[in-house]
Amino acid sequence: MRECYFVVDGGVPLSGVISVGGAKNAVLVELCSLLLFPGRHCLHNVPKLADVTALIELFEELGCSCCWLENGTSLTVDTTQSCLRPLSASVLQSFRASILLLGPLLARFGMAEISYPGGCPIGARPIDFHLKAFERMGAIVEVHGDLLRVIAKKGLHAARLVFEYPSVGATENVLLAAVLTRGTTTIVNAALEPEVLDLIQLLRSMGAVIDLNVPATISVTGALPLRAVEHTVLPDRLEAGTYLAAAAMTGGQIEISNIDPELLDVFLMKLDEMGHTVTLPASGGVVLTGTLSARAVSFITMPYPGFPTDLQAIMSALQICSVGTSKIHESVFENRLVHLGEFQKMGATLSVAGDRTCITGVDRSLLRGAALHGVDIRGAAGLVIAALGVADRSSITGIQHLRRGYDRFEERLQYLGARIQLVEQD
């Protein structure tokens, strides 16, 4: 098997104007939603990610026809011939979002059978919330080794569901199932991430009736006539945050032309607190001018609109050469601090206690290049950002994780002036 890794020669300020692609955390669930109605659908602004490719493979196993249009970012999905079929276990286990097939398959066909999903090893991320919700809606859950079977032969029924934690995946899975379930299903303490709201916009365009209520409650009136849908996936706030952080780390200046800054409120606030200059042009987007004498900031990850867990590793990278001490609490995923050990290889000064870390910034001249290894999407991105800020050469393996979350990652960084190269060897 051919091994791929990045070689990064850091210390070069990034500059330029770029746009980001469609949100990974929206496009996967929105593709799953197309199974709700047999017809020819079209999604625009679809990023070519490894997870998208895997989901398309599963769709084809279900009898769907998927076709990329000439522009390379629009995807037509014809679900007319879709039906229940055995799905490839290896593909199901390659990414977490495969769990989102349960809702539409269960609601439409009365049964869904998948292997336990995989993805990044960033924490337990139990699927209990999904399964308990389906049981409350009348389904029977069977577990046979790695095989998960959910059955509702007489159909699901509407229910009032209270989540003890605002799980994004469970909220989305219940939404998909509830659209085809007669009656009104209510989700209390629902996740309201921008990607969930974008899914709701798609489902409403398909004909679903969905209401949002305070506090954090979603009501779905199900079993109404649906239609094929055409929808544009919202831009990826996490991709935007990654490139903004890359510019901040290198003391550069970049503009993300197509991102709504309100989706990054807390993240942009922290960049501003560090001393980086954040500007919001009247035409939209975000401009960041970085400083090489940034101040350390502390933060805690939380569900939206709090600081995103998916930007924790990216923001942590900025702290290793900032002035002062940063205290970081990762409250969402318990195993999402693995990248910190890699920062130490570069000379970073930090300590870890459970789900918390303290990073005391050192002068960047004392940091050095190192052989680094990423084990999840955002952790690997954080390693690249750290390497970009050090005037030395680093190598980064585990980049297959980046392919799951970023489209043409190194090409976009090269466009901004980064000295990063993909190396392939047998």
pLDDT digits (tens, 9 = 90+) for 150-191: 999 899 999 999 999 999 999 999 999 999 999 999 999 999
Same domain, 259 and 346: yes
- Assess whether 255 and 137 both reside in one domain: no
Give the range of the structural domain holding residue 47, as residue numbers without chain letter: 24-232
Q: Is 217 within 8 Å of 188 (Cβ atoms)?
A: yes
Catalytic residue status for 64: no
What pTM did the predictor assign? 0.95
- Is residue 125 scored above 70 in pLDDT? no
| Contact indicator for 19, 409 with CB cutoff of 8 Å | no
Which of these is catalytic: 42, 64, 66, 120? Answer: 120
CATH of residue 12's domain is 3.65.10.10
For range 366-392, the mean pLDDT: 97
pLDDT at position 334 = 72
147-151 and 140-144 beta bridge pairing: antiparallel
Question: Do residues 332 and 408 both lie within one domain?
Answer: yes
Confidence of residue 123 (pLDDT cuts 50, 70, 90): very low
Query: Is there a contact between 35 and 105 (Cβ–Cβ < 8 Å)?
Result: yes
- Distance CA(293)–CA(365), nearest Å, equals 12
**CB-CB contact of 163 with 232 (8 Å):** no
End-to-end Cα spacing for the chain? 6
Task: Based on the fold, state whether residues 187 and 81 are members of the same structural domain.
Answer: yes
Q: Which residues contact 312 (CB under 8 A, 6 or more apart)?
A: 299, 301, 328, 330, 336, 378
Residue finishing a domain among 178, 204, 232 = 232
Q: Is 195 in the same domain as 286?
A: no
Q: What are phi and psi of 401, to 5 degrees?
A: -65, -40
CA angle (223, 228, 232) in 5-degree steps? 115
- DSSP structure class, residue 306: S
Q: Are 276 and 354 contained in the same domain?
A: yes
Task: Give residue 260's identity as a one-letter amino acid code.
Answer: D
Q: At which of 232, 258, 287 does a domain end?
A: 232
Is residue 191 domain-shared with residue 281, that is, in the same domain? no
Distances (CA, A) of 183 to 110, 155, 158, 299: 17, 12, 5, 42
Tally of structural domains, the chain: 2
